[in-house]
Amino acid sequence: MRKVLLATTALVAMTGVTAANADISISGNYEWEYTSDDSGTKWGDDGHINVKAVNAADNGLTFTAFASLETGSASSTNTEAAYVQIDGDFGTIILGDMDDSMATTMDPGLGRNNDIETQVSLGSADTNVGIGSDGDIHYKSPKIGGLQVGFSKDLTDADSSATDGKSDMAIMYTMGGVTMHYGATEDDSNFGVKASLAGFTIAAGAKQTDGSSAKANDVAVKYTLANGITLVALSANGTSSTGTKTKADTFGASYSIVPGVKLNAETGKVGTQNYTWVAVNMSF
Amino acid sequence: MFKRIFKFIRLRGLLLLTLCTSLLVPACSSLKTTTAETPEKPVSVITGKPGGIKFSDFVQKDRPDVGAIGLPVNALLWRAALDVASFVPLDDVDTFGGSIVTEWHQSTDNPDQRLKLTIFVLGVELRSDAVRVHTYTQKKQGNNWVDSGRDEALARKLEDLILTRARELRAASVSETTQ
């Protein structure tokens, strides 16, 4: 009995002696959603499981390994993002697929990034630019005096994707209550401004394509009521390279039932398509 | 790409400056401007906090009354106390109470005297006052053992030994981590 006590105590003591700098966390969400549009009603769901491991090294660098699995009852599970991130005084380097690029993450000023869901594709009225999930390597600078820059590049050059070998960049500047950003790829560029004023959050963005008549602009206004309900109105206009115009107007609301459980809704018209979307989203 | 940046700024610089200034004009001073909201991270329904579920939460490292992996006393001091007391047969070890009681031990050098140790490890911090040693001595009179009080000097020496051993263990673990 005594030997067992000593052995287990020594084992516990040995394990407790080793410093544990790494931390592993699991997070994710599940969303059950209902969509009604001109073609009928649809019920669906989707979910994510994220695993993150963070280790702070003694040399001041922080290493993060991240993987995100996307799943749903009507779709197979796939890896949505997987990367290694290195943080230091020099900024952040991300190696791998983060399901986004710097131009699509450092763009808080676009109206379309401030609505509830952007459930329906905005088409040519979309002000978003960037190589998105095709980025293989990314860099984000530290914020100096409110200014931050980021770069992403698709290292693949096999000509099997429109973004092969392409890159994007973003510059973001925060000054007082205003955040501005500029993003660009080889072909497109956008600009956005976001500010909070008297409880309202206003975001406006614009996009243009080189050598083309394609352009888009949007504006979103968000307000949170005293009862916690967040209301958002989005208006977007766009012109395609062929001159076809698209107009989008949406209105959305979000309410946190309990911390971690949200009831979201959005309705609007994009082009000629009307839609209504309601969802319950649970995060863990 | 950089040419396009400068061209864009030149063409729209004035418009941007006008837009930004209109948001900050003194006429709007009655309206409070705040920092543009940063994207909120989703809150976990389990923990009520953003950042998901961390494995370290199950270890409860931050609770002052619980040490690593549920040990309620400092692991280094506990290990050191066991190492130092190991020259004497152990009678009772209480991991969660933090106490070690040895059996009566006779030294071959002085067979007419025997010794018993009681070691207490207090708290989860590695502090000099977190270990306490009591030494009980008995002398042989005829065929009986009679209590002869406590040996405080020996107790203080043993406490110093335990603290020294704990420091050695900590230094060894730090060098393992940095390698």
Residue B127 CB neighbour total at 10 angstroms:
12
Q: Which two tokens stand for residue A159?
A: 């000509």
Question: pLDDT for A102-127, tens place per residue?
Answer: 999 999 999 999 988 877 888 899 99
- For chain B, helix (H) and strand (E) counts, in that order, are 4, 8
- A32 φψ region: left (φ > 0), alpha (ψ -120 to 50), beta (else): beta
- A135 occurs within a structural domain: yes
- Rounded alpha-carbon distances, angstroms, from residue A7 to A26, B1, B170: 33, 65, 20
- Rounded alpha-carbon distances, angstroms, from residue A63 to A55, A102, B61: 5, 19, 21
Chain A (265-284) residues lying within 8 Å, Cβ to Cβ, of chain B: 282-284
| Closest partner CB to A16 (pick from B20, B54, B71) | B71
Each as own residue / partner, the long-range contacts of residues B174-178 (CB below 8 Å, 24 or more positions apart, any chain) are B174/A19, B176/A18, B177/A18, B177/A19, B177/A21, B177/A58, B178/A58
Instruction: Report the C-alpha gap between A168 and B121 in whole angstroms.
Output: 59
Compute the residue count for chain B: 179
- A120 occurs within a structural domain: yes
Chain A (93-112) residues lying within 8 Å, Cβ to Cβ, of chain B: 108
Question: pLDDT for B99-121, tens place per residue?
Answer: 999 999 988 888 889 999 999 99
**Radius of gyration (Cα) for chain A, nearest Å?**
22
- A192 occurs within a structural domain: yes
- A10 occurs within a structural domain: no
Residue A272 CB neighbour total at 10 angstroms:
8
Contact B67 A16 (CB under 8 A): yes
Domains identified in chain B and CATH numbers = 72-178 (3.30.530)
pLDDT at A141: 96
pLDDT at B179: 58
Question: pLDDT for A178-187, tens place per residue?
Answer: 999 999 999 9
What share of chain B in percent tops pLDDT 90?
29
Q: Which residues of B touch A259 (CB under 8 A)?
A: 43-45, 48
Inform me whether the pLDDT recorded for A207 exceeds 50.
Answer: yes
What integer best gives the mean pLDDT of chain B? 75
The C-alpha of B127 sits at a distance from chain A's nearest C-alpha, in angstroms, of 15
- A195 φψ region: left (φ > 0), alpha (ψ -120 to 50), beta (else): beta
For chain A, the domain total comes to 1
- A64 occurs within a structural domain: yes
Contact B177 A18 (CB under 8 A): yes
Question: pLDDT for A133-173, tens place per residue?
Answer: 888 999 999 999 999 999 999 988 765 666 678 899 999 99
What share of chain B in percent tops pLDDT 70?
67
Q: Of B155, B137, B152, nearest to B84 (Cα)?
A: B155
Q: Of A139, A30, A17, nearest to A90 (Cα)?
A: A139
